[in-house]
Amino acid sequence: MLRLRDIMTTDIVAVPPELTIRDAVLVLSKRHMGGAPVVSGRKVVGVVSLVDLAEFADMAPMDRNALEEHTVSEVMNHTICSLPPDTFVDNAADFMRAADVHRVLVMDGESLLGLVTTRDIADAVGGCATAPLPPRRPALPGR
Residues of the domain holding 12: 4-125
Q: Helix or strand or coil: residue 111?
A: strand
Higher pLDDT, 114 or 137: 114
Report if residue 138 sits inside a domain.
Answer: no
CA 15 vs CA 6, 44, 62, 87, 132: distances in Å = 24, 10, 25, 25, 26
**Percentage of the chain exceeding pLDDT 90:** 65
Question: Is pLDDT above 70 for 136?
Answer: no
Report if residue 136 sits inside a domain.
Answer: no
pLDDT digit string (tens) for 30-74? 999 999 999 999 899 999 998 888 887 776 655 667 778 889 999
Mean pLDDT for all residues in the chain: 86
Report if residue 12 sits inside a domain.
Answer: yes
Report if residue 18 sits inside a domain.
Answer: yes
pLDDT digit string (tens) for 57-69? 776 655 667 778 8
Report if residue 137 sits inside a domain.
Answer: no
The confidence band for 128, taking pLDDT boundaries of 50, 70 and 90, is: low
**Percentage of the chain exceeding pLDDT 70:** 84
Instruction: Measure the CA dihedral 5/118/136/115, to 10°.
Output: -40
CATH number at residue 107: 3.10.580.10
Domain count, the chain: 1
Contacts of residue 120, Cβ cutoff 8 Å, sequence gap at least 6: 7, 8, 9, 133
Report if residue 134 sits inside a domain.
Answer: no
